[in-house]
Amino acid sequence: MSRLLEAGVAPDEVDTLILSHLHSDHMIDYARLIHAAWDMSGKRIRVLGPAPIAEINERLFGSAGALAFDWAARTDYEPSQEVWRGRGGSVPRP
């Protein structure tokens, strides 16, 4: 994620992410990238990786995942909706 930003690539410019293996030092910024792309524009990034990636996604982004409270605050909380509208988005947020 840091290297993308240093190279001038915005998170929502990434279309596909390929994870060859799931060592933490290779994917520690995974949630940050996915979250930043979504928060910037509502974009979803296509992710390819070893079979456990579906479980990792669920544990991070699922309805009971680590980021569930953040997702709810950004989609359901009126002040967050106002920020989203200010960026040109519409409610309900994707």
91 occurs within a structural domain: no
Range of the domain at 13: 2-86
User: 35-84: per-residue pLDDT in tens?
Assistant: 999 999 999 999 999 999 999 999 999 999 999 999 999 999 999 999 99
3-class DSSP string for 23-82: CHHHHCCHHHHHHHHHHHHCCCCEEECCCCHHHHHHHHHCCCCCCHHHHHHHHHCHHHHH
92 occurs within a structural domain: no
Q: How many domains does the chain have?
A: 1
Distance, CA of 34 to CA of 19 (rounded, Å) = 13
Confidence of residue 94 (pLDDT cuts 50, 70, 90): confident
11 occurs within a structural domain: yes
94 occurs within a structural domain: no
Predicted structure pTM score: 0.87
For residue 26, what pLDDT is reported? 85
